[in-house]
């Protein structure tokens, strides 16, 4: 079958690879009908995340049709049209039964890597380096899905592939940021990043009752989507001072909840961006936390900051003093999608959450390398390149 | 097969390799001695009651082949989280030809937890992959991944 493989830093190729097989009783094989590029893939593509191996199949945000199931599968069946959560959940360990599914104890075959880097391993994830298990990703014609009963969700009738595919990752990730960030009615929320996850976090905040939501980015086409599709305010960080602007728009308080949806390759007009750029080039830090710093410094006293963007290592000049002295609550996570996806699919079907507009470039998998190049360079207003294998 | 049935079969199959479950106690090794780290207790919490973890004195299957090298103990985990299954390389046991005994113990504990909680062990081999050139960095990643079940803080 065809698959989009990482072959080195900023190198992708389409290769012919073996088809996946059932390995465990809980497994299923899914024929991929749509698979999306994600901003976190760019961290893998660019070599920022350790543990990538030439030949790895990328892709973690996807949907498709079940074509085979293992002997232990009871809830899902062949022929089901499903969206699959990007992180895997066994459904049995303490983390899974407490809604912290991306921390699943039983789905990562490479626990020592996560323990070495983070002190504990994450759960398994599709196409996301050896650290999350080294699983083959979804940018292929078929993908093996462990624990299909807990990880795959039926797509409601009337929901298109372009709408449903983002329920695999972007929508639940954004919802989690607003939910676990503690957004409540009357709040003012600021979201850093107007990509797919940032837009979904903004929409989630609105649905959870926020009275004002402000999304910060510099790309005009994304900011236009925020205004016209999501219905939130925007702030172009390239045309002004973000912290002062936020203070002005929040009655001098700062946002109650600050959601960072940018990650380790943040851009900024601030001088610390140059500092981080140099330090990462010299390998003196691994990630550029510019947006995290700004979120912490901008949040109101006693507010909360949720880090949705992906980080892989260590950062410098972290404003811990602001966290402590302003009494902030700082939270983060990879997405615990299993607790949200059924509800989110219903909201998508009901028209409460718009997602199809994110798929600005739909193309065959054969054009995967070109799609990622567009996505990376933001060419032609690309918000997400999505592929039909 | 249900997960609980699988766990029961695992336990039943290990009856012949029954070992004593030692009482809870701290290692008495001298701190810093060459043996102290190897014989430290290594613990996983299993979301199952103690009676399903050690059944009639039988170890979970992955620990059986290490039975002559290890001490094992269990206790109820706080907060209704199941059972803490602890094992250590028995102090002063002969090294023999077992190789990386701590690594084997880590992997066995992790497999035990997975089998008891889910009825299977997480794997991704074999799976589809593109061309994997034998570069030094690639071979290093392969080696780290291959040995990962035996490595870590556990």
ipTM of the complex: 0.94
| Model pLDDT, residue B26 | 37
Dist. CA A362–CA A368, nearest whole Å: 10
Phi, psi (deg, nearest 5) at residue A145: -120, 105
User: A361, A362, A26: which is closest to B123 by C-alpha?
Assistant: A26
Return the top range by mean pLDDT from A216-230, A279-293, B82-96.
A216-230
CATH architecture of the domain covering A170-332: 3-Layer(aba) Sandwich (3.40)
Q: Which of B148, B150, B153 to probe the A interface (max A CBs under 10 A)?
A: B148
Q: What are the pLDDT digits (tens) for A91-123?
A: 999 999 999 999 999 999 999 999 999 999 999
User: A36, A49, A59, A40: which is closest to A9 by C-alpha?
Assistant: A49
Between chains, do B128 and A25 touch, taking CB under 8 Å as contact? Answer: no
| Model pLDDT, residue B116 | 98
- Mean pLDDT score of chain A, rounded to an integer? 96
Fold of A2-168+335-388: Quinone Oxidoreductase; Chain A, domain 1 (3.90.180)
Integer Rg of chain A from CA: 20
Between chains, do B82 and A19 touch, taking CB under 8 Å as contact? Answer: no
% of residues, chain B, pLDDT over 70: 74
A386 Cβ neighbours under 8 A, 6+ residues apart = A34, A35, A36, A37, A162, A165, A359, A361, A362, A363
- Look at A281-285, A299-303, A346-350, B111-115 and tell me which has the smallest mean pLDDT: A281-285
A301 Cβ neighbours under 8 A, 6+ residues apart = A253, A254, A326, A327
| pLDDT at residue A58 tops 70 | yes
State which residues form the domain around B47.
Answer: 3-150
Q: pLDDT category, A257, cuts 50, 70, 90?
A: very high
Count the Cβ atoms, other than its own, within 10 Å of residue A211.
Answer: 12
From B64's Cα to the closest Cα of chain A, the distance in A is 20
Give residues 5 to 34 of A whose Cβ lies within 8 Å of B.
5, 7, 13, 15, 17-21, 23-26
| Model pLDDT, residue A50 | 83
| pLDDT at residue A352 tops 50 | yes
B126 cis-preceded (ω within 30 degrees of 0)? yes
CA nearest A13 in B: which residue?
B130
pTM higher than 0.80: yes
Q: What are the pLDDT digits (tens) for A164-208?
A: 999 999 999 999 999 999 999 999 999 999 999 999 999 999 999
| Model pLDDT, residue B31 | 39
Q: pLDDT category, A324, cuts 50, 70, 90?
A: very high
Between chains, do B128 and A130 touch, taking CB under 8 Å as contact? Answer: no
- Look at A157-166, A190-199, B24-33, B95-104 and tell me which has the smallest mean pLDDT: B24-33
- Which chain A residues are Cβ-neighbours of B131 within 8 angstroms? 5, 7, 15, 54-55
Average pLDDT over residues B114-132: 97
User: A251, A93, A120: which is closest to B118 by C-alpha?
Assistant: A93
From A137's Cα to the closest Cα of chain B, the distance in A is 9
| pLDDT at residue B27 tops 80 | no
Q: What are the pLDDT digits (tens) for A134-157?
A: 999 999 999 999 999 999 999 999
* Per-residue tokens: A322: 């602001």
| Model pLDDT, residue B17 | 34
| pLDDT at residue B120 tops 60 | yes
Give residues 122 to 151 of A whose Cβ lies within 8 Å of B.
124, 130, 133-136, 140, 144, 146-147
CA nearest A124 in B: which residue?
B122
- Is residue A389 within 8 angstroms of chain B, CB to CB? no
Q: pLDDT category, B97, cuts 50, 70, 90?
A: low
CA separation, residue A156 to residues A75, A76, A149, A184, A346 (Å): 16, 14, 17, 28, 7
Where are the domains positioned within chain A?
2-168+335-388, 170-332
Q: pLDDT category, B18, cuts 50, 70, 90?
A: very low
Q: pLDDT category, B16, cuts 50, 70, 90?
A: very low
From B51's Cα to the closest Cα of chain A, the distance in A is 17
CA separation, residue A228 to residues A32, A50, A144, A221, A354 (Å): 31, 38, 38, 10, 11
More confident residue, A49 or B95: A49
Contact residues of B toward A, CB < 8 A: 1, 3, 45, 47, 81-82, 106, 110, 113-114, 117-133, 135, 138, 141-142, 144-145, 147-154
- Which chain B residues are Cβ-neighbours of A15 within 8 angstroms? 130-131
State the total domains in chain B.
1
């Amino acid at each position: 079958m065809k698959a989009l493989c990482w072959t080195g830093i900023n190198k992708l190729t389409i290769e012919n690879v073996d088809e996946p097989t059932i390995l465990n009783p809980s497994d299923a094989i899914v024929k991929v009908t749509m698979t999306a590029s994600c901003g976190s893939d760019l961290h893998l593509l660019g070599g920022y995340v350790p543990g990538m191996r030439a030949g790895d199949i990328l892709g973690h945000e996807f949907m498709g049709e079940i074509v085979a199931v293992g002997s232990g599968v009871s809830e899902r069946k062949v022929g089901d049209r499903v969206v699959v959560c990007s992180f895997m959940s066994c459904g049995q360990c303490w983390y899974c039964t407490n809604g912290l599914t991306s921390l699943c104890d039983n789905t990562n075959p490479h626990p020592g890597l996560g323990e070495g880097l983070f002190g504990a391993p994450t759960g398994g994830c599709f196409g996301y380096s050896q650290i999350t298990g080294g699983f083959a990703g979804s940018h292929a014609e078929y993908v093996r899905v462990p624990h299909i009963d807990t990880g795959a969700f039926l797509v409601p009738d009337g929901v298109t592939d372009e709408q449903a595919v983002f329920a695999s990752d972007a929508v639940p990730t954004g919802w989690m940021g607003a939910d676990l960030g503690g957004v409540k009615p009357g709040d003012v929320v600021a979201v850093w990043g107007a990509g797919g996850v940032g837009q979904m976090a903004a929409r989630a905040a609105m649905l959870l009752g926020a009275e004002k939501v402000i999304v910060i980015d510099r790309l005009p086409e994304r900011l236009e989507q925020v205004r016209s599709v999501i219905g939130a305010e925007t702030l172009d960080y390239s045309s002004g001072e973000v912290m002062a602007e936020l203070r002005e728009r929040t009655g001098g308080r700062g946002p109650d909840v600050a959601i960072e949806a940018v990650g380790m390759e943040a851009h900024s007009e601030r001088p610390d961006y140059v500092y981080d750029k140099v330090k990462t080039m010299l390998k003196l830090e691994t990630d550029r936390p510019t947006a995290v710093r700004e979120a912490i410094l901008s949040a109101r006293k006693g507010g909360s900051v949720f880090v949705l963007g992906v980080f892989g290592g260590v950062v410098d000049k972290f404003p811990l003093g602001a966290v402590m002295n302003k009494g902030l609550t700082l939270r983060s996570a990879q997405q615990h999608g299993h607790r949200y996806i059924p509800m989110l699919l219903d909201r998508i079907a009901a028209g409460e959450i718009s997602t199809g507009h994110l798929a600005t470039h739909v193309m065959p998998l054969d054009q995967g390398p070109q799609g990622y190049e567009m996505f990376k360079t933001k060419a032609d207003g690309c918000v997400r390149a999505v592929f039909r294998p | 097969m249900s997960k609980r049935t699988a766990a029961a079969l695992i336990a039943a199959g290990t009856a012949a390799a029954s070992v004593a479950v030692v009482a809870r106690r701290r290692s008495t090794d001298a701190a810093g001695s060459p043996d102290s780290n190897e014989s430290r207790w290594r613990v996983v919490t299993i979301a199952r009651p103690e009676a399903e973890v050690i059944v009639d004195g039988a170890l979970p299957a992955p620990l059986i082949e290490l039975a002559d090298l290890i001490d094992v103990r269990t206790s109820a985990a706080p907060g209704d989280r199941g059972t803490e299954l602890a094992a250590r390389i028995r102090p002063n046991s002969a090294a023999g030809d077992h190789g990386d005994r701590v690594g084997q113990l880590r992997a066995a504990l992790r497999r035990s937890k997975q089998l008891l909680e889910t009825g299977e062990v997480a794997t991704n081999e074999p799976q589809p992959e593109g061309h994997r050139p034998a570069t030094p960095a690639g071979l290093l990643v392969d080696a780290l991944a291959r040995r990962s079940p035996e490595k870590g803080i556990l």
